[in-house]
Amino acid sequence: MKKYAVKIYGDPVLRKPVEPIDTFDESLEEFAADMVHAMIEHDGIGLAAPQVGVSKSFIVIGLPVNADDPDDRKIFTMANPEILEESEETVVMDEGCLSIPDITEEVERPEWIKLKFQDLKGEEYEIEADGIFARVIQHEIDHLDGVLFVDHLSPLKRTLLRGKLKRLHEDSKVRAEEA
Ligand code: NI
């Protein structure tokens, strides 16, 4: 098992567009398992490949399904996810991101989506999602386009966060030099 560190705001890989997944073999299964592990270890409910430094179109989601047991999750692994349709109706929810520690902000997004993706064998699925599931999927697919949730905030909110984001950026540069 490979242990991945989560890349932090300011790391250029978070802004780099991804390549599609075109090989569905054992190494993809291993990568998926490593990403699920990293997501759970960092206490996230979703993780996109660029966040572990891999510019590939791949996301994992771990939705809590039992309020009494946070470890009880439904895991999804999605290669080449793509949103096909979205509702006009939007909803505002608090969002955070493992790559932007200690910041949560309200983000407005479509309430419902229809998407397609491929599983670890390359089989294609089309599903609909709403609620927290739709929210996490949209957040993770944004990562594949180099988009972060803070990009959705109003200019005023972004200005208010500028100091915090700059510090994260500076920290990530220090970490890159140390690596
Ligand atoms: Ni994120």
What's the gap in Å between 147 CA and the centre of ligand 1? 9
pLDDT attached to residue 179: 62
Would the pLDDT of 161 be above 80? Answer: yes
Give the three-class secondary structure for 125.
Answer: strand
Q: 140, 170, 177, 178: which one is catalytic? A: 140
Domain span at residue 130? 12-178
Q: 139-159: per-residue pLDDT in tens?
A: 999 999 999 999 999 999 999
116: CATH:
3.90.45.10
What's the gap in Å between 22 CA and the centre of ligand 1? 24
Q: Is 105 a catalytic residue?
A: no
Would the pLDDT of 175 be above 80? Answer: no
Q: 32-58: per-residue pLDDT in tens?
A: 999 999 999 998 999 999 999 999 999
What's the gap in Å between 93 CA and the centre of ligand 1? 14
What's the gap in Å between 136 CA and the centre of ligand 1? 9
> How many domains are there within the chain?
1
Q: Nearest to residue 36, comparing CAs of 76, 64, 72, 68?
A: 76
| Average pLDDT rounded to a whole number, residues 117-121 | 98
